[in-house]
Amino acid sequence: MSTDATPRQVFRSCLYVPGHHPDRIARAYDTETDAVILDLEDAVPPPEKARAREIVAEAVTTPAAKPTYVRVNPVSSGLCEDDIRAVAGAGLAGLRVAKVSSSEEVRLVAGVLDELGHPGRIHVLIESAEALEHAYELATASERVTMVGLGESDLRADLNTTNEGPTMDSARARVIVAARAAGLPNPIQSVYAEPRDLRGLLVTSRHGRRLGFLGRMAIHPAQIPIIHDVYTPTTNEIDDALEVFAAADLAATESRSIAITAQGKMVGPPALARARQVLELATALDLIAEARTGTTPSPRDTGSNGGSS
């Protein structure tokens, strides 16, 4: 679980880029995505793996214009450790570890980063029924773990189910609960694999936000505006959150244990926690000049943002 004291990055969107396409990597930093994920795994054909590793290693040699993560090959592939050693440059924010099956694999990745003296975070990708059964254990396997998420394509195949339905929703809910129980941010929703179907992206992203995701992975720049539209706090949400904190502040000033908003709503700890999430995200996105959130809580207390496949 994370004890990272650095300011939390807010990722409504993370754009995957195949690691063997240097032109696409360069263009990714000109998009509106909040973070970039350079992919050494599924997006790279086996004959291109070595070349992709070299290209990505060069891309993260120096600090990048956006937070940059690398999805490395699974530990079981035999490629993971060499991937890590190659890409542990100054521009690497962290690793997304594909197809994690055990906490031992997470600790192996953390051990390589320790050996290299690199501060990179670890994102754990759960892509099988077995891994899903151990979601909390994986989320707490190392202090470097700051996100857990689903690799839905492989998980769906393992479960022999459809993309949208109660089985996948139960998996999504399970990983969200595991992340929060471990003191991590809510996960980021997995990719929508049809880049031309923007209506489908919109519908499923709205559903994902209702489930509890706080952002979404993208595979094409055209998906980013819709993802941001869904996952950015609205003006009404920000106003409501500010009102909740104003009511709480007034109650404290008047030594009252019960706070009530101007709209007559009682304010309790759950409402304060939700309002704090909204205001922290809005502040990070420069949507408000200043949010009166009291003492800034840790990710463990609030659940503002983090990742998925």
Q: How far apart are CA 156 and CA 107, in angstroms?
A: 26
Instruction: Report yes or no: 25 and 17 within 8 Å, Cβ to Cβ.
Output: yes
127 is annotated as contributing to ligand binding: yes
Is 172 known as a binding-site position?
A: no
Task: Give CA–CA dist 129/125, Å, rounded.
Answer: 12
DSSP 170-204: HHHHHHHHHHHHTTPPPPPBPPPS-TT-HHHHHHH
Distance CA 176, CA 274 (A): 16
98 to 64, 95, 189: CA distances (angstroms): 23, 9, 15
Question: For residues 47 and 261, is the Cβ–Cβ distance under 8 A?
Answer: no
Report how far Cα 24 is from the mean position of its chain's Cα atoms.
Answer: 22
Residue 280, annotated as binding a ligand: no
Distances (CA, A) of 32 to 65, 164, 222: 12, 27, 10
- Annotated binding site for substrate, which residues? 71, 127
- Annotated binding site for Mg(2+), which residues? 127, 154
- Annotated binding site, which residues? 71, 127, 154
